[in-house]
Structure 1
């Protein structure tokens, strides 16, 4: 788990996004604030490798969100599954210290790059 702590510290201290990851008061848990112009989503006390329920911001639906850390690639993966849709293909966002995120849904994928200031 030391790799997770080190990776998240790199994310928290390296760049400013519309997302904020913070350590929670609960041991081994985190808080995430996803800020947008329409509505903010705040997820408190979530843990790696545990699912949490959340409302979608773009499309009103209940999602199951799970965060996983892969020490081999030093990446944090965020997977969303729409609970109300049994045919849903999970969306997976991948974060690395290289400061870009990628998203994939089925055969469609994209990358978002961030610049250090």
Structure 2
């Protein structure tokens, strides 16, 4: 009976989830940041490491996946590349940029894609959620992150026309 309940719950979540709009699909390269150094500092990242992270080239790619209702997300950087294949609202295990296993869930609601990470190897570590919105002209992907009361934004310019 419990299994039937879970199946119905996931079906309801899938049916209720809005699809990601086409405006999010494309390749976006980091252009600028607001409050990023303060955000990294609040996470406990040391000065030298922060400087390296801030200089890293980062590209984010959202695309429709091969199956109905599926998507792909790539985070490409000079340090490491990760690619996730997912369906909205369905948690999956993937490798984070920190090379550890994460439980990751993507959702879309009210014009915002969220990417939620929970580290499986370190459950005491505070889970993180990244919020993505599009600029009014759809030329920038805007990523918002918060840690210990410090919020930063990173702006990614669309690379494809």
TM bin (shorter chain):
0.7 to 0.9
Tell me the equivalent position of 1:41: 82
Tell me the equivalent position of 1:62: 101
* 1:78 to 2:93 alignment: no
* 1:52 to 2:89 alignment: no
Q: 2:28 aligns with which of 16, 30, 33?
A: 16
> Which whole-Å deviations, capped at 9, do the CAs of 1:15-68 have from their partners, x for residues lacking one?
623111111111100112211112211122x100011111122x2311111111
Q: Secondary structure at the match of 1:4?
A: coil
CA distance in 2, matches of 1:80, 1:37: 21
Q: 1:110 aligns with which of 152, 158, 161?
A: 152
CA distance in 1, matches of 2:156, 2:60: 12
Q: 2:132 aligns with which of 88, 95, 111?
A: 95
Q: Secondary structure at the match of 1:87?
A: coil
When residues 2 and 83 of structure 1 are mapped into structure 2, their CA distance, relative to the original with a 3 A threshold, is closer
**Structure 1 unaligned spans of 5+:** none
Shift of 1:78: 0.7
Whose Rg is larger?
Answer: 2
Aligned length: 110
**Structure 2 unaligned spans of 5+:** 1-15, 30-58, 136-140
CA distance in 1, matches of 2:134, 2:91: 23
Tell me the equivalent position of 2:56: none
Stretches of 4+ moved more than 4 A in 1? none
TM-score normalised by length of structure 2: 0.60
CA distance in 2, matches of 1:88, 1:28: 31
